[in-house]
Structure 1
Amino acid sequence: MKLLLVRHGETDHNSDDLISGQVDVKLNETGVRQAKRLANRMDDWDIDSCYSSDLERTYKTVERVAERHGLDIRISKDLRERAFGEFEGRPKDDWRQKVRNSDQERIKISSEKGESLKQVGERLVNQLDQISRENKQDEVVLVGSHSVAIKAAILRVFDLKGRYYGKLEQGNAALTILRYERGEFVLDTMNDTSHLE
């Protein structure tokens, strides 16, 4: 099975360097263009099913692809972005400061009413496992999610330490491809944004 993990297109929160988390923000004009370019890239790809976070920015990104392939989108809250609690809507520098000042291992840091990288990685990987059980081994599945969630899943799947998180990139409308073979994930492509050039 091939899993096409896509991050949503740009939002004003992204361009303003704010934490969106689970706040339901919309794609901005750039994000809409990025979603169209992603859909154009996948026009002649064989895609068997589509899943998406229930947050509008991701759903609208996946919808562009799904419509062209005549596919329904299965919605899952488990594909949502990391919950940042009271940091949602605030500048990313506020969160970075919290991480710098913490004595905890990066993967375990969370805010009040928020999730740690470990928790969001487990949530997303559990959902990817569920998706793999719902689809056949030879199928290609599009999965729309979010930057931190996808990076946390990569950490979890490949048993990477939290210190590698900052080295992982996940741009807007980026494509990451995982193969699921015999119960294990294999990384084919990470953070491919060539369709935006």
Structure 2
Amino acid sequence: MNKSLSKLFTVMMAFFVLSSFSVGNVGANADNTAKKEDQDQGITFYLVRHGETIFNVQERMQGFSDSPLTEKGIEVAENLGRGLKNIPFVAAYSSTSERASDTADIVLEGRNLKLIKDKRLREINFGDLEGAYQADVMKHTNVASFQKLDYTSVNGENMQGVFERAKASLDQIVEANKTKGGNVLVVSHGITILDLVMGLDPKAWDMSKGGLPNSSVTKIQWKDGKYTVQKVGDQSYAENGQNKLTFYFVRHGETLFNVQKRMQGFSDAPLTEEGIKVAEDLARGLHDIPFSAAYSSSSGRAVDTADTILEGRNMILKTDKRLREMNFGDLEGAYQADIMKNSNVASFQKLDYTSVNGENMAQVFARMKAAVDQIIADNQGSKKNIIVVSHGITILDLVMGLDPKAWDMSKGGLPNSSVTIVEWENGKFTVGKVGDTSYLEKGKALSH
């Protein structure tokens, strides 16, 4: 919900709470007349507000009128579908408005469940003001009534009418599903859902924090003839369903070859005592990051660094040779000072070692990117943090291939045990931090 709409909605609902229409009594009376049947099972309603629409963005009155979901609305609805994938629904309903049924179809994709549409679940009818800009509505002579969400003066509805039809729909859903019980999905609209839950429990206003974001979930439990509002406007399902991976690329700890300034690509050298200590500091600095998967190159220095970071975590480290450092070919193990005297030094300075049976930057990027793409394929579909322990040139080559500006962010190099953060979301990479030593510094501080 954009800020202007949220503000208007909050004002409207505040007037509604203070109005003479006591929806709480209506809900209570309905509950008191419900008959308890021993065979009835509990039902948990997942009331979802539809995804963002064009009218939402344009801040226009959208009740019985309709407008399509925006690209963002579709994307967040897809996130919600993934976030709800482990909830077994026994039935699914939506209003007859396309923005609601389209949202429901996205959430239900891959499920063998028929969507039942009910016009009683539609948004409040704004009457003659349908499609009007909210700013213009605030100038209307009947604005005092509108702030109480009463649009009867312009051939629309008031809150009592909305509550009665939405409650009747919910009661019918209960009757249809109470013998088997379970979870029921209902995709509806912001004012309608809030009106309903406040009629069932006036305290729901405090739970809502003033509004319902698009694609948020409101949970209501029905048991033994009584409705109980559990959550209002919960965005955690959509957030948890984000098709987003955050990569924490770590350069391995300091090695003997690093200290000796020798060429260390496919060749390997053990971590120094300082390298081990710094890797331990990094482990403490990353302690609060919940990693879902862990990878490293097949080189011993990367594996040892990863094992140090993952100590105490119940995780399996997967190794991939494509994550190794650049291959320096015949120059592996050579002292860097001697390399500068080689006749091919101009090529080496461009990180092209093909003349000595090694690799160039394009080859390194191709294999590194292929490894990352495989990690994405194995982990996408939810929001996760992935740790990948690799090497200095390899990590820099990757991020510069994804974003040429990464070189400026790196300040010319990656320190041992530094962290480079890359986010992947719905097919797009974003380079965040390059060569970040803040986690390392945090870990050092915690060690004292």
TM over 0.5: yes
Instruction: Give the alignment partner of residue 270 of structure 2, picking from 12, 23, 26.
Output: 26
Q: Please give the secondary structure, in 2, of the residue aligned with 1:39.
A: helix
Distance 1:14 1:180, change over 3 A: same
Instruction: Give the alignment partner of residue 16 of structure 1, picking from 236, 243, 260.
Output: 260
Q: Please give the secondary structure, in 2, of the residue aligned with 1:150.
A: helix
Structure 1, unaligned stretches of length 5 or more?
A: none
CA contact (8 A) 1:47 1:141 kept: yes
Please list the CA deviations of residues 128-157 of structure 1 after superposition, one character each: whole Å capped at 9, or x if unmatched.
111111113411100010011111112222
Instruction: Give the alignment partner of residue 148 of structure 1, picking from 393, 403, 421.
Output: 393
Instruction: Give the alignment partner of residue 157 of structure 1, picking from 387, 402, 406.
Output: 402
Distance 1:96 1:177, change over 3 A: farther
Which residue is 1:37 aligned to?
Answer: 281
CA contact (8 A) 1:2 1:180 kept: yes
Which residue is 1:190 aligned to?
Answer: 434
CA contact (8 A) 1:7 1:173 kept: yes
Which residue is 1:62 aligned to?
Answer: 306
Counterpart-to-counterpart distance in 2, 1:24 and 1:192: 24
Structure 2, unaligned stretches of length 5 or more?
A: 1-244
CA contact (8 A) 2:246 2:386 kept: yes
Please list the CA deviations of residues 62-114 of structure 1 after superposition, one character each: whole Å capped at 9, or x if unmatched.
11222222111001001111100111111223445559743699265534221
Distance 1:176 1:109, change over 3 A: same
Counterpart-to-counterpart distance in 2, 1:57 and 1:150: 15
Counterpart-to-counterpart distance in 2, 1:56 and 1:5: 16
Which residue is 1:132 aligned to?
Answer: 376
Please list the CA deviations of residues 31-64 of structure 1 after superposition, one character each: whole Å capped at 9, or x if unmatched.
1001101111111211111001111111011112
Q: Report the AA paired with residue 148 of structure 1.
A: I
Counterpart-to-counterpart distance in 1, 2:306 and 2:343: 32
Which residue is 2:295 aligned to?
Answer: 51
Counterpart-to-counterpart distance in 1, 2:351 and 2:428: 22
Distance 1:27 1:192, change over 3 A: same
Point out the more displaced range, 62-71 or 23-32. Answer: 62-71
CA contact (8 A) 1:179 1:188 kept: yes
Counterpart-to-counterpart distance in 2, 1:103 and 1:81: 18
CA contact (8 A) 1:151 1:170 kept: yes
TM-score by structure 1 length?
A: 0.88
Instruction: Give the alignment partner of residue 113 of structure 1, picking from 346, 357, 362.
Output: 357
Which residue is 1:83 aligned to?
Answer: 327
CA contact (8 A) 2:328 2:353 kept: no
Q: Are 1:92 and 2:336 matched, yes or no?
A: yes
Distance 1:96 1:149, change over 3 A: farther
Counterpart-to-counterpart distance in 2, 1:128 and 1:187: 14
Counterpart-to-counterpart distance in 2, 1:117 and 1:154: 12
Distance 1:103 1:176, change over 3 A: closer
Counterpart-to-counterpart distance in 2, 1:25 and 1:34: 16
Q: Please give the secondary structure, in 1, of the residue aligned with 2:282.
A: helix
Distance 1:103 1:193, change over 3 A: closer
Q: Which has the higher contact order (CA 8 A, sep 6+)?
A: 1
Counterpart-to-counterpart distance in 2, 1:105 and 1:88: 15
Distance 1:102 1:73, change over 3 A: same
Distance 1:151 1:93, change over 3 A: farther
Point out the more displaced range, 5-14 or 66-75. Answer: 66-75
Q: Report the AA paired with residue 153 of structure 1.
A: L
Task: Give the number of equivalent residue pairs.
Answer: 195
Counterpart-to-counterpart distance in 1, 2:282 and 2:361: 27
Point out the more displaced range, 95-104 or 129-138. Answer: 95-104
| Identity across the alignment (%) | 28
Q: Report the AA paired with residue 417 of structure 2.
A: A
Distance 1:110 1:40, change over 3 A: same
Give the root-mean-square deviation of aligned CA atoms. 2.5
Structure label with greater radius of gyration: 2
Which residue is 2:247 aligned to?
Answer: 3
CA contact (8 A) 1:118 1:156 kept: no
Q: Please give the secondary structure, in 2, of the residue aligned with 1:9.
A: coil
